Amino acid sequence: MNIRSFAGGIVKPSSLLVLTEMPILTFGSSKLNATLALRLPCNRVAGIGLITRFQYSVADRTLTSRSADSPSSKPGSSRLNRKRESSSSSLYSRPSLSDMKKDRIANCVKVYECLRGIGIVPDELDGLELPVTVEVMRERVDFLHNLGLTIEDINNYPLVLGCSVKKNMIPVLDYLGKLGVRKSTFTQFLRRYPQVLHASVVIDLQPVVKYLQGMDIKPSDIPRVLERYPEVLGFKLEGTMSTSVAYLVGIGIARREIGGVLTRYPEILGMRVGRVIEPFVEYLESLGIPRLAIARLIEKRPHMLGFGLNEKMKPNVESLEEFNVRRMLIPFVIAHHPEIIGIDLKPKLVNQRNLLNSVLDMGAEDFGRVIEKMPQVVSLGSAPMLRHVDFLKECGFSLPQMREMIVGCPQLLALNIDIMKLSFGYLQMEMKRPLEELVAFPAFFTYGFESTVKPRHKMVSKKGLKCSLAWMLNCSDEKFEQRMNYDTIDIEEMEMEPSFDMNSLMEPRSDESDSDYEDSDRDDV
């Protein structure tokens, strides 16, 4: 070992620097060798030593320190190893995109396994942002279960599992509850329209509710509309909703009636004019029902628009003709009882014809006349009909007389039997009329006993007039007062067929709304 002095003289031991064979050290981008060390003052050398030791200390905490004395390490491979280890083990490193993707896939597999374990098929969830943990997914499933939805319901629309309980489900359900939608209807509501859970209350739901109110649907009726037709919450404001309403107003439905029409049958808001409403109106017009009468029928029974044109209406009209309803009277049958074109008609016609034929020996032509005068007969139960036939038999009418009476007035098959008994007893005991008068005018049973039959009979008796039951009863109160001023009775004013007057549908409206509801615009498909 050689000892040298920096000043050329003898120095104190503390200022001496003992040198050994020093390897080249890398410090940043500079190389520090023994020669440079000889030229530096002692304090500088000491400082460099501290820095070097600090560098090694950090390396020890993070990586494996690189030693130039290690015979087995190559400079190139040592540098590469340090880079690899630094990228994966540094305290400040972040996961790579590939690592994040692997984590998502792993979590997705666990969530799918959980769903399959409870019977949910997750195939449609591919590409959907799902919860990162199984626990969150279970929370969603449990929440839906508490709402009454079953595993089958969820499988019908598995995308509902993409809705957050706190961010989506609870806000939407809270809003519906505040509107007045009953919690007891939530289950059916979500079964019909689970997509509502994806909606934004402010962006999607509130504008639709305001639009409905703008069509004069009362705020108190909004829950009723939503419960009956939840799909309306997904419609565009200026789409089918506005165009269907505009068309109805165009055919003659009063604007003040629109709110009531939509409240009773909100499905109209989803009907295309060109595909559904217009063909419906045009078909009824082709049968002979005036457009304004159609408008009045829709006002009173808006559910008519839901009758399938090709599925129900046309086949039912064909069935009416098949069962001897005259084509010219079919418009009156429909106007009198619109439901007849929306039910499963042919089996009912077969059953009623067979029943009346068996108890009254009624032929096909007579059955056609019964349907023309009272189309509701197709929906009467067989037991009530038989009770009425038995009552007429007990009154002493023969089979041909009963058949004639029922063909002339089919309402006899549906009236209150107790009232019929009362009227019949009064006719025999007080009015002293023979049975033949009832055969000629069976509609006697349809008039109110206390309100019409008794007071008119007393007036006729007081006047000393001899008249038929038809002359006495088949007129309005005003007309009857006029008749009481007649000196003689010249003609019998009988009721014309059919009894339903189509013109009554097209009479000018009063200021009051018939439907007790009330407005909105048109559709092009």
Q: Which amino acid is at 500?
A: F
pLDDT surpassing 90 at residue 46:
no
Q: Of the given ranges (176-180, 238-242, 319-323, 485-489), which has the lowest mean pLDDT?
A: 485-489
Backbone φ and ψ of 31, nearest 5°: -110, 130
Most confidently modeled range among 61-75, 118-132, 242-256: 242-256
Of 44, 34, 29, 32, nearest to 2 by C-alpha is 34
pLDDT band at residue 134, thresholds of 50, 70 and 90? confident
Contacts of 189 (CB under 8 A, 6+ apart): 176, 181, 196, 226, 227, 230
Calculate mean pLDDT across residues 296-314. 95
pLDDT surpassing 80 at residue 514:
no
Beta carbons of 148 and 186 less than 8 angstroms apart: yes
Query: Across-strand partners of 25?
Result: 32
The pLDDT assigned to 137 comes to: 87
| Residue 60 Cα distances to 49, 93, 234, 476, angstroms | 16, 18, 63, 114
The pLDDT assigned to 469 comes to: 93
Q: Of the given ranges (116-130, 156-170, 374-388), which has the lowest mean pLDDT?
A: 116-130
pLDDT surpassing 80 at residue 234:
yes
* Tokens representing residue 441 in the block: 């005018």
CB atoms within 10 A of CB 331: 19
Calculate mean pLDDT across residues 230-239. 87
Q: Of the given ranges (372-376, 389-393, 488-492), which has the lowest mean pLDDT?
A: 488-492
Beta carbons of 308 and 267 less than 8 angstroms apart: no
Calculate mean pLDDT across residues 500-516. 55
pLDDT band at residue 489, thresholds of 50, 70 and 90? low
The pLDDT assigned to 111 comes to: 80
pLDDT band at residue 483, thresholds of 50, 70 and 90? confident
pLDDT surpassing 80 at residue 86:
no
The pLDDT assigned to 425 comes to: 94
Question: How many whole angstroms separate alpha carbon 289 and alpha carbon 298?
Answer: 12
Question: How many whole angstroms separate alpha carbon 262 and alpha carbon 258?
Answer: 6
Q: Of the given ranges (233-242, 446-455, 460-469), which has the lowest mean pLDDT?
A: 233-242
pLDDT tens figures, 252-261: 999 999 999 9
The pLDDT assigned to 490 comes to: 55
| Residue 343 Cα distances to 3, 276, 315, 323, 401, angstroms | 120, 18, 10, 16, 32
The pLDDT assigned to 149 comes to: 94
pLDDT surpassing 70 at residue 496:
no
Calculate mean pLDDT across residues 387-406. 96
The pLDDT assigned to 263 comes to: 95
The pLDDT assigned to 500 comes to: 57
pLDDT surpassing 70 at residue 6:
no
The pLDDT assigned to 125 comes to: 75
Of 179, 177, 260, 256, nearest to 220 by C-alpha is 179
Beta carbons of 253 and 299 less than 8 angstroms apart: yes
pLDDT surpassing 60 at residue 26:
no
